Structure 1
Amino acid sequence: MAGIRSTVLFASALLCFQFASLPALAQDSALKPNKEEGVANTLGVKKDEMAALENKAKSITLSLGELASSGKLPTNEEAIELMKKLVAEMQDVNQQLQQIRSDIADIQSWIFDQSSENLPIMQNDIAELKKAKIGNYLHFQLFDSDQNSSNEGFSVRRFRIGQTNTIDPRTSMKLTFDVAAGSQRLSAELKDAFVMYDIEPSVEKVGIQFLAGQQPYPLGYELERSSGEREFPERALYNRTMFAGERGRGAYVKYGTSVNSHVHAGIWNALSVSDPQQTGANTFGNLGNSRYGAHAGIRWYSTQYDIGVSGYFSKRRGFNFTSNNQQVAVPSVDRRFIFIDGAYVGVLVPEVTLRGEVMIGKDRVPTGGTANPSFLAATDVLGWQTQLTWNINSRNQLSARYEYFDPNRSSTSVLDATRGWGMAYAYYINPNAKITLAHEKFDEQGPEIKNDATTMRIQFRL
């Protein structure tokens, strides 16, 4: 009887040893990634078989344990046959376990081989996909003003198609078109086409970065800010007048002076890409007898504030035009601008952001172009704006803006400054879609112009 009990206990211990490694084996197999449906199905079948064998083994072990520890171990032939049958079943379970273990090891080996072989291919594919970053957005709007102008009604205000391509870890380029340009919003117009090169890459600060091509001016905060991010439908009047198109053609360098600041300086064509004098000349290059422009600036920032000071200097070429059948000579003038801007997040409460910008300069205001210019000489110009934005919650946003533009502040006899007040409400349908309702009221010091405007716009971006 002692021999039989020892045999039973040995068999039970052996079976328990076999199943002690079973859960770990099943868990380890589940950790291996696989993309093949056939392999997944096979592995699932094997797991089911193992679970069934585990339950069967537990039942056999329980029966043998009860038989060995009851103290009433039978000695007749029937009891001995029962014990032999249980031991035989245990041996059969053990053999099946060995086979399943071997099958799972083969499957795991196949998965590992496939992963090792395909991983570089997958990594290369992902890297190729990340080289191109899409940046499209659409502005469809209903516009109404007191002027009863041809721009009123439904229109596609902007349809920007853009892409930023990574050429190598240090080099990237950005290309953007607006395919809703022109008087009928049916033309394509180049917006951005520039390359960015990290001379000295840095993950802690700007490092040293070189940018060249047609790109936004790094002056103030509004010229650089995307139309897809602004709270109001259009930029302030002074920026649209003195830097039409918001972009120039040139090259500049950014240099990170610390983790919270950088300086920047560059060389540009004299006029912005959509300046009336530039477009009137029907050329993309720097106008003859115009000095190249230059800019320099510094910016400080943190998670709560952003402050910038920058300056731009160039020359506006002179021209001749006909007035009352007589030739009028308009002289060349120097262009000088200083921008000071700032933003502060958390005014009274964390959800409120205050922005402000001041532009002080001297230029011949390009209104009227070269055919019917409003200004024949350089004047002192002043423009500024302040904006308060309240992010009510993740979907609702309310903004208020005041702007001021005086194209001839040095004259006391000519009053032509313009003031503007605006309110804008935005509802975010989702992070990539929003509806904006804005109303702006303008007041001119000179003859009053009925140009109050209401805009309802929906934006989708990718």
Structure 2
Amino acid sequence: MKTYVVLGVFALFILIGGQSYAQVLKNDGASQSGSSGRLLTDMIDTATQMGRNMLSMYNKFGQLGFSGYIQSQYQVSEIKGNPNPYQGGEWGPYTSNRFRLRRGRLRADFTHNTSEGKPSVYFLFQFDGTERGVNIRDFWGRYYENKWELFHFSAGMMARPFGFEILYSSTYREAPERGRMSQVLMGTERDLGMMVSMNPRSKKTKLKWLMVDAGIYNGQGLTGTSEYDNLKDVIVRVSTKQRNIGSSNVKIAGGVSALVGGITNLNKQIYTMKEVGGQWNMTAGDVADTNHMGEKAARQYFGADARVVIPNHKGVTEFRGEYITGTQSGTLSTSVTPGTYPVASNGMNQPLAVRRFDGAYFYFLQHLGSWSHQLVGKFDWYDPNKKVKGTDIGADRGLTAADIRYNAWGAGYVYYINPHLKLTFWYEKPTNEKTRLSGFEKDVKDGIFTFRTQFSF
């Protein structure tokens, strides 16, 4: 309790004593109501502060630009050894508060234009450094065709074009972390692959509002060091840029996404849900009749997202939502997409488990009479196994904690002190369904409060 009081006093001090930069932030705040330049697959958008910073570097050094940001945070857990890893990573068994350097990014961009000033080649690399080490996040190149000014081609370690929250850059995201569903399905947003995109650039085109991205990827993302089977993920996203509704100032945008892929099962057994005597059980394939070694365990996701932005006198009201459903392959103990093939403690390859899932999130965002102050509310859920719920889930049916549905409520306040510093105060409380599994007969205490500072240049 004392920790919350201290943080509350600190927040009050900042709000009273901090200088207002509302006018400076207006352009950047306005860009919050759009997605251009804010998604990991976007081109540089000079309407944002980061885009302007990059452009000034280009002008100074020719064609090379640098940017970066640091997210340092302090967190307080509801209990020691919090079992919730989706708000910044695993907790130590005797820890209920911690400082973390959540992200520390340094990014370099190179661009080459034609003699007519049109984009030709673009190259980007980005590193992430925290107290846990340094890793690459992006390392890819892009080529623009300029005959029709419609397409560009990308290859390397880059963001996968699926959904909105997965692509929404952590630089701009209002909540500290992506939701549980996004982290389970794609533990990292990036993967090795190739992508072709249709993003009309000609001023004369009537399709400037439409974007199509299609790519093929290894599948395991940055959670694994290399491809471990021959199967690939094919991903397609069709989306729209923000458009006004009729003659009003209200703007809408959205998209639909699909992923078709899988994992090669490297065990003679594979687990699937089967109905026996009117109840659903997680059951292994009968190895006496079929050897499931080498069988494809499906990963198929289908999603739709939408955003509505309503301008206010100073700021905007925004509603944002996304729904994803499909088939996910993990193991009996987890539905998380594996970065390497799962191996048991005895060194043997584990059998995969296939489940039908769905999940969604909904945001409410409201500026509080100024571009500097923003209130955020969020609700999300992830149901890893749609065939069972509540007390249906028990060990006698072959089910585990990996089959439990979670709802999560989150709320916070974001203070944009100036274009290079923002503060986030956030509390999120997940709620698991009550089951017959040991330890999950009631809701687990796993709420987390986060105070984050983000410095950027």
Higher RCO, 1 or 2 (CA under 8 Å, sep at least 6)? 2
Find out whether 1:385 has 2:361 as its counterpart: yes
TM-score by length of 2: 0.64
| d(CA) in 1 for partners of 2:234, 2:324 | 16
Instruction: Tell me the distance in 1 between the aligned counterparts of 2:354 and 2:263.
Output: 10
Unaligned runs of 5+ in 2: 1-56, 81-90, 114-118, 201-206, 244-250, 270-286, 394-402
Q: Contact conserved, 2:161 with 2:214, CA < 8 A, in 1? A: no
In structure 2, relative to structure 1, the CA distance for the partners of 1:179 and 1:189 (3 Å cut) is same
Q: Which has the larger radius of gyration?
A: 1
> How many equivalent pairs are there?
318
- How far the C-alpha of 1:160 sits from its partner, in A, is 0.7
Q: Mapping of 1:46-445 within 5 angstroms? A: 127=59, 129-148=61-80, 149-150=91-92, 152-168=97-113, 169-180=119-130, 185-200=131-146, 207-256=150-199, 258-274=207-223, 279=224, 283-284=225-226, 286-288=227-229, 290-303=230-243, 304-320=251-267, 332-346=296-310, 351-365=316-330, 367=334, 370-371=342-343, 376-392=352-368, 393-412=370-389, 413-414=392-393, 416-445=404-433
Q: Which amino acid aligns with 2:308?
A: Y
Among 448, 452, 455, the residue aligned to 1:453: 448
Q: Would you say the 8 A contact 2:106–2:126 is kept in 1?
A: yes
Between the aligned partners of 1:265 and 1:377, the Cα distance in structure 2 is: 28
Report deviation, 1:302.
2.3
Q: Return the alpha-carbon distance in structure 1 between the equivalents of residues 292 and 426 of structure 2.
A: 42
Larger CA deviation: 210-219 vs 399-408:
210-219
TM-score, with length taken from structure 1: 0.64
Larger CA deviation: 157-166 vs 302-311: 302-311
Tell me if structure 2 keeps the 8 A contact 1:242–1:365: no
Counterpart of 2:103, as a letter, is: R
Higher helix share: 1
Kindly provide the amino acid, as one letter, of the partner of residue 228 in structure 2.
Answer: L
Task: Kindly provide the CA deviation profile for residues 342-396 of structure 1, in whole angstroms up to 9, marking residues without a partner as x.
Answer: 1111078861011111111102136375145998421111111000111221211
Contact 1:365 1:407 in 2 (8 A): no
DSSP 3-state at the match of 1:364:
strand
Task: Give the secondary-structure state (helix, strand or coil) at the position aligned to 1:411.
Answer: coil
| Secondary structure at 1:240 match in 2 | helix
CA contact (8 A) 1:343 1:355 kept: yes
AA matched with 1:142: Y
> Secondary structure at the residue paired with 2:304?
strand
Q: Once superposed, which parts of structure 1, at least 4 consecutive aligned residues long, lie more than 4 Å away?
A: 125-128, 327-331, 347-350, 372-375
Task: Give the 3 Å change call, closer, same or farther, for CA 388–298 of structure 1 in structure 2.
Answer: same
Distance 1:207 1:273, change over 3 A: same
Q: CA deviation at 1:239?
A: 0.7
